Amino acid sequence: MPLRPPAGFISAFFDPLRNPNAPTIGTATGGDASASVTFTAPTNVGGSAITSYSALSTPGGIVASAASSPISVTGLTNGTAYTFAVWATNTYGPSAYSAASGSVTPDIRGLFAGGTAAGNTNVISYISIPTTGNATDFGDLTGAVDAPGSCSSSTRGLWAGGYGGSAQNVIGYVTIASTGNATDFGDLPQLIAYLSGCSSSTRGLFAGGYNYTVSSETNIISYVTIASTGNATDFGDLTIQRTGPGACASPTRGVFAGGYTGSGNSNVIDYVTIASAGNATDFGDLSGTAGQGPAGCSNSTRGVFGGNIGGSGQMVYITIASTGNSTTFGNLVTNNTYMAACSSSTRGVFAGGTSAGNVIQYITFASPSTSTDFGDLTQSTYNFAGCSSGHGGL
């Protein structure tokens, strides 16, 4: 790590012909106890090539380095506001500091929206996943819908489809860090409710559900590029037609499990490679038959499904990189059906459902066990969908 003089101080050995100019600061984006700091390299690199770039946090004085933009700064405290300054280093030493970035507060937000709450609802609420506590109002969806699907990147949350007096194909989105109402994103290829969604850092997938265009369960998978508004594109097909599968993802794989086939419940687990459009492949089976509406969440390696599995409060898990049947994880404190879920890199959160439907409960992915009370939703809700800024697909 390069040595630095105090902020605002230029060493007597600083030579503007040999030391690089300061980088131009970009933006800082918060994550789970971390931030990503962007910058533009200086045109004048000095007397030799720049060997590294470093960022300094205020407060805390935490330093991280990288060969190029962005710089990932870890070890921050969730809920604390930070700014960052960047400098460049070549063989002659460091540059001056850049200007400070805008303020950013590291956190992982989980969002829940839509569903049935004394009628279809458009309410979006949010939680801070690294802490515990009751959900807070975020804003409203573009319409009141029952049984939408949801996915997200680190910055945007999307909800698609659902039933709001009639079937919907609308996709809406929010900026997760900023409370407010959803904005139109585009449309699904069909009118679908009871679908599920998962995503990588760039691509969101929506799959399964009841296709009101043909009045049948569907196996259709469609995708969007989360950063670019527009209509969804056909991706491929699930191995079977079903409504209400649970879904989760790693950075490379999307997984869909359980659901209702039209003639009975299914325990089938499918997977796709998110970056490559194509039909799903059999992954294995859930260890308990799952009805319509199991909820799924994940970190980058482990997916957990809960709610409506085997008619009990059982949760099961899979290792996303390795095909095979699921393994028992533990039990939900409150056994609900038609729940929603979201996650950070360490926690999975299950919320709502048809019984005691404002309950939020969480698990720690690394430690299979019974869930723990987290807090309450803003209203009792079921048939809704959740996403977050720090799930396993990022």
Query: Per-residue pLDDT tens for 300-359?
Result: 999 999 987 655 688 999 999 999 999 999 999 887 888 999 999 999 999 998 876 899
Give the pLDDT of residue 9: 43
Whether pLDDT at 288 is above 70: no
Reduce the DSSP state of residue 207 to 3 states and report it. strand
Task: Pull the structure tokens for residue 219.
Answer: 């196996």
Q: How far is CA 353 from CA 98, 148, 230, in A?
A: 49, 14, 31
Contact 80, 86 (CB under 8 A): no
Structural domains of the chain, with CATH: 1-107 (2.60.40.10), 109-388 (2.120.10.80)
pLDDT band at 290 (very low <50, low <70, confident <90, very high): low
> Dihedral (C-alpha) 213, 122, 292, 263: value to the nearest 10 degrees?
-30
Q: How many residues does the chain have?
A: 394
Q: Do 41 and 69 contact (CB within 8 A), yes or no?
A: yes
Positive or negative, the CA dihedral 154, 157, 161, 163 is positive
The band of 13, judged by pLDDT with boundaries at 50, 70 and 90, is low
Mean pLDDT, range 365-372, rounded to an integer? 96
Q: What average pLDDT score do residues 190-205 get? A: 96
State the pLDDT confidence band at 2, using cuts at 50, 70 and 90: very low
Is residue 218 predicted with pLDDT exceeding 50? yes
Question: Tokens 């709450």 label which residue?
Answer: 117
Q: What is the pLDDT of residues 18-76, one digit of tens each?
A: 999 999 999 998 888 889 999 999 999 999 999 999 999 999 999 999 999 999 999 99
Comparison of pLDDT for 165 and 356, the residue scoring more: 165
- How would DSSP label each residue in 5-30? PPTT---TT--TTTSPPPPEEEEEEE
pLDDT at 352: 93
**Three-state SS at 232:** coil
